[in-house]
Amino acid sequence: MIILFICTTMKLQHFATDENGLKSMEARFIRNIEQLHDNEIYLIMHDILQPQPIACVNWAEYDYAPQVSVRVAHSDEALAIMFEVEEEHLLAANTEDNGSVWEDSCVEFFVKNPNGEGYFNFEMNCIGTLLAAFRRARNDADMFSAEKLAAVRRICSLEHKQLDKAEGGRWWAIEIIPFSLLGLDSAPESLQANFYKCGDKCRRMHFLSWSPIALEQPNFHCPEFFGRVELI
């Protein structure tokens, strides 16, 4: 199996890797970020935080690599994640939450359960449609209720309507996830997580990750390859 590492040319925040090649990064503290207005959140995250590339092409047969980065911050109450994407085909067929958003132009955040077994996955397409669940395994999940889905704040550069833009373009999306949805009362010291970009029905199917995945077939549901996010 061939694992490629393709990085964007933008200025990148320093990251480290452990002995297994898994990445670690820092999430900066921004007090009460979840209480700010949409444009304030975007400006603070864009101007203060340095991007990390989501650029591991883990499967050579899916070699298309759109330009993707992630920035992460936190407050005492929530985790804030900002994705920026430039790709050749923008697709958003799913407008209802907990639909097949991974088939669209999609970014994803998977995180181990801080309190025990299992993990959470948050998958969001380019117009802010969200799928979220607690999973014991890939096919063993408790999907988030409408109330829990509504607790995840979403800020997107694109309007929330169906989209199929053959010429592609740029877009960004922010999700703010209360720590309570992860079973936490406050910010932890660290999280084990991975960040992804996919598009199963885009013109060129692709599967990018932040921290590399050493599996023979595309699979994001693999906590053993999650990297570490240090909350500072």
This prediction's pTM: 0.92
With cut-offs at 50, 70 and 90, classify the pLDDT of residue 21. confident
Q: Give the tokens for residue 174.
A: 């922010």
Query: Any idea where the domains of the chain sit in the sequence?
Result: 4-9+23-222
How confident is the model over 82-88, as a mean pLDDT? 98
Residue 208 and residue 130: Cα distance in Å, rounded? 19
Q: Residue 193: what are its φ and ψ, rounded to 5°?
A: -155, 170
CATH assignment of 4-9+23-222, given 3.30.230.10, 2.60.40.1190, 3.40.50.2000, 3.30.300.20?
2.60.40.1190
What is the model's pLDDT at position 16?
64
For residues 103-123, give the mean pLDDT. 98
DSSP secondary structure string, 133-200?
EEEEETTEEEEPPHHHHHHSEEEESS-SS-EEETT-EEEEEEEEEEGGGGT-SS--SEEEEEEEEE-T
